[in-house]
Structure 1
Amino acid sequence: MIQNELSRRRLLGLGVGLGAAATLTLTGCGGGSSSDRSGAAGNGGKDYTGPKVDLKLWNGFTGGDGEIFKKLVDQFNADHQKIAIAVNTYRWEDYYAKLPSAASSGAGPDIAVMHMDQLATFAARGVITELDDVAKALELNEADFAPTVWKGGLYHDKRYGIPLDMHPLGFYYNKAVMQKAGLDPEKPPTNRAEYEAALTELKKSGVQGFWVSPFQFTGGMTFYSLLHQWGGTLFDADVMKATFNSDQAVEACTWLVDLIKQGHSPANVGQDADYLALKSGKNAFNWNGIWQINDLKKSADVQWGVAPLPQIGSQQAAWANSHNFTIVKQRSADPNKIAGAKVFINWLSQHSLDWAKGGQVPARKAVRESADFKALPEISSLAPELEYAAFPPAAPGLGEVITTFYTAFNEAALGKKSPKQALDDGVAKANRQLEDNRKKYGS
């Protein structure tokens, strides 16, 4: 894979370690209750009849999806003579660190693309404004989206994000490697028994079939998925305590670590080596993000397939995140700019089929159910995961806490600690971080 793509999606899933980047409270940003002002700005995105406005839009789409995104913005600009959108693209890790101070100084964007797990942090710090009027005016509701995606845009029962897409983990398999091991390349395993049987056959043929990465990308996300498949959670219902050392979590982690001990995976797998091994025929299975589909489609020499994650535990679950559109609070709110921003958000949400071609599952149900989306076979094959996707909860400052979760898994996968000890130690640290967050964010 090209280097910028690797670095781009390394932050695609969770704003790793960036919770503190948004700790700047934007006092004076918007000069009081911006929700009062934005509520009077236009008609929630149905149309725009004011004077011409120039809007800045920030995003982190530095890979191939960025090209598709910019084309969509160009199309919007051509169709809307009174609204001009200028796009600024940064690496996600730079983007989230830069946004709070830029907004506070008046140099920030009008519109910001934001991952679902970042919404609560930026809402709690007053960086983004409420969008309930957009949802109401456009008659958007939970029925238009998957419930998990729709609810992920809420913080304290107020909407701060309009969901654009969902990007889950998918199950990638190398058909040629499977065939050499005597497996049916058109029937990838779908459950634990089939998965373990396939790994046994692959091992007999001299192939370590499933490389367990100790890093967030992608071993940590694999464990995240399995923890939920076993019926566990990262936190309790109120996100007051970490729970990723439960019996279910330990069992899920042990299953992964045992694959290394049993020789189905090398020890100490390097960053991205699991995915590169799939492409080069050194392993057969890889759990990775939907964003890898377009990369594999460029690899004509690789015989591959993609399917929803196998159900290893007692229920289906898959790590996922979602891009949301937000409107950034300004030092001096301009109702016309706010109205124009809402029109753009509505327009791109309606054009999310084109966005899907960049490697995303559209958030809107009508688009997912369209024949045009189903004509994208690889991407649409992962759409069913939307119904059981394991999204991060809506709580501010979770970036660093979830990093602690991934660090705990790293220690277990590298054999530095037993799964139980690694998770117990991680939970102890995570609980201290959660307590600090309650003090920092007042919730």
Structure 2
Amino acid sequence: MTSSDRQFSRRRLLSGAAALAGGSLLLGCAPGARDSGTELNYWHLMTGGDGIVMAGLVDAVNGLNAGFRAEQTVLAWGPPYYTKLAMASAGGRAPDLAIMHASRIAGYAPGGLLEPWDLDLLAEFGVRESDFPPLVWQKGLYDGKLYSVALDTHPFVLYYNTEHATKAGVTDAIATMDSPEAFTEVATKLQKVTGKHGLSYGYLGDPSQMWRLFYTFYRQTGAELKLVPGTKAEVDEAAAVKALEFVQSLLNDTIATRSGDGGTAVSEFLHGESGLLFGGVWELPVLKDSKMAFDAMPIPTLFGQQAAYADSHTFVLPRQSKTDPDRRRYTYQLVAEILKRSVKWAGAGHIPAYQPVVKSPEYLELKPQSNYVGIPAYVNYDPDVWFSGAGSDFTSYFAENVQNVYLGSGDPAAGFDGFVQRLNKLLDRPQPV
């Protein structure tokens, strides 16, 4: 059996196992003869364009012939991935390395499903705390130990059609919007140019989209959302109502459609039927491929304080029943080498977490990526609690109470209160680990 045949058979086997588990799974290694060194198992959830870039980074590191070879296992995003990773960690049969969203660390580190990173060994390979934005590094800490090393920050941002902005005479105004009224004025002027909408924002069927925009504006008021198990949620209802009322005002079927989903929003923006788009940086490759004239920037500070929703892809060490020192050392080297090459990862829109890359001329020349490079300094992650984070039901709890507000038929105060009541019930439960 040839090397390619072995890889194909392994891919078939893993795909079948994933189907039984309710998720799809692919293997992302390039064909060709394997090196004779140690094979490291690396799990992640990067698909599409992200998956291609990640495969290229891994291939580049494998090409160093450093005594190891990383083999990628790619699982379906969301619950299938996190469930399988938790089961593998609980059984002590986890991969050498895995990707985990920073927002999920609070649900995994306390239960012993992850192992902390050795800071001295990281430093030996050129990875230190000083190489990361403080808020990004701190998000990986639990009980004083580092449980995740960030690859990136991927925030929610504002895209705008530069040709429409010129026609509407709002190019300078877009750069200086500092209040809800200023934003509404710009969006209204753009709507007159497009003849359809001033803003594209899709949320139907996507609770995460609803949460990202709300949490950005909520935090811009200076309000916090503190969730501590065993206690009531600490929230600022007035700030929440203010944020929800503003979102509701935008979704008036003139500035933005009241009933759009994510795909509709991106399509509308791509076809020039709006001038602004609220979306994640992960939309950037599609927008660039379209060749349309656009730019991107942080969501403007409309409520007084810089704030932006974001998450991070991070590297974690899933718990294993037995740890081989040589394999572990190679795993640290793999992470360090990927971080040092992460300017390629920036091509997918993400902001590299490793600051030597962000400060490099190669990254600073990337547009519009370098326009929003400052967001990690004031990034807002999901609250640190076991039931929050990417791929969890946390945002579904928000959507089931607040979607009618977005649709224009719900009361902001009542919707937010329903969400808080759901949070309080969860905070009364012990962490299920």
Once the two structures are superposed, the pairs formed by residues 13-412 of structure 1 within 5 Å of their partners are 52-93=37-78, 94-105=80-91, 107-133=93-119, 134-135=121-122, 137=124, 140-184=127-171, 187-188=174-175, 190-192=177-179, 193-205=181-193, 206-214=195-203, 215-235=206-226, 240-244=231-235, 246-261=237-252, 263-300=254-291, 302-398=292-388, 399-412=392-405
SS in structure 1 opposite 2:98? strand
**Counterpart amino acid of residue 408 in structure 1:** N
The one-character-per-residue Cα deviations of 1:243-301 (angstroms, maximum 9, x if unpaired) are 4552111101111102224832222223432222111112111111111111111002x
Instruction: Indicate the larger mover: 235-244 or 109-118.
Output: 235-244
**Take 2:37 and 2:313, find their aligned partners in 1: how far apart are those partners?**
27
CA drift of 1:392 comes to: 2.1
3-state DSSP of counterpart to 1:109: coil
Flag the 1:275–1:233 CA change in 2: closer, same or farther, 3 A. farther
Shift of 1:173: 0.7
Tell me how many residue pairs correspond in the alignment.
390
- For 1:381, what is the secondary structure of its paired residue? helix
The structure-2 alpha-carbon separation of the partners of 1:387 and 1:406, relative to structure 1 and needing over 3 Å to count, comes to farther
- In structure 2, what is the Cα distance between the partners aligned to 1:98 and 1:234? 29
Return the alpha-carbon distance in structure 2 between the equivalents of residues 253 and 281 of structure 1: 27
Which 10-residue stretch deviates more, 133-142 or 245-254?
Answer: 133-142
Answer yes or no: is the 8 Å Cα contact 2:191–2:275 preserved in 1. no
TM-score of the superposed pair, with normalisation by structure 1: 0.81
- The verdict on how the C-alpha distance between 1:439 and 1:187 changes in structure 2, with shifts beyond 3 A counting, is closer
Distance 1:239 1:247, change over 3 A: farther
Tell which deviates more after alignment, 239-248 or 84-93.
239-248
Task: Map 1:419-430; keep pairs closer than 5 Å.
Answer: 419-430=412-423
Aligned pair in 2 of structure 1 residues 115, 253: CA closer, same or farther (>3 Å)? same
CA RMSD of aligned residues (A): 2.5
Question: Partners in 2 of 1:282 and 1:189 — Cα distance?
Answer: 23
Paired-residue identity, %? 27
CA contact (8 A) 1:165 1:324 kept: yes
TM-score by length of 2: 0.83
- Could you tell me which runs of 5 or more consecutive residues in structure 2 were left unpaired when the two chains were aligned: 1-20, 22-35
- Paired with 1:104 and 1:414, the residues of 2 have a C-alpha distance of 42
Aligned-partner Cα distance in 2 for 1:156–1:200? 48
User: What does the per-residue CA deviation read over 1:121-149, in whole Å, with 9 as the maximum and x for residues that have no partner?
Assistant: 12223222110334455575443211110
Answer with 148-157 or 51-60: which moved more.
51-60
Query: What's the CA shift string for 1:282-333, capped at 9, x where partnerless?
Result: 2111111111111111002x22111121111111111111111111222332
Partner letter of residue 274 of structure 1? Answer: A
Other structure's SS at 1:55 match: strand
User: Which consecutive unaligned segments of at least 5 residues does structure 1 have?
Assistant: 1-20, 22-50
The amino acid that maps onto 2:221 is W
CA distance in 2, matches of 1:378, 1:439: 41
Kept after mapping to 1: 8 A contact 2:92/2:319: no
- Partner-residue secondary structure (3-state), 1:88: strand
* Change in CA separation of 1:413 and 1:433 when aligned onto 2, cut-off 3 Å: same
User: Would the aligned equivalents of 2:93 and 2:321 in 1 still touch at CA under 8 Å?
Assistant: no
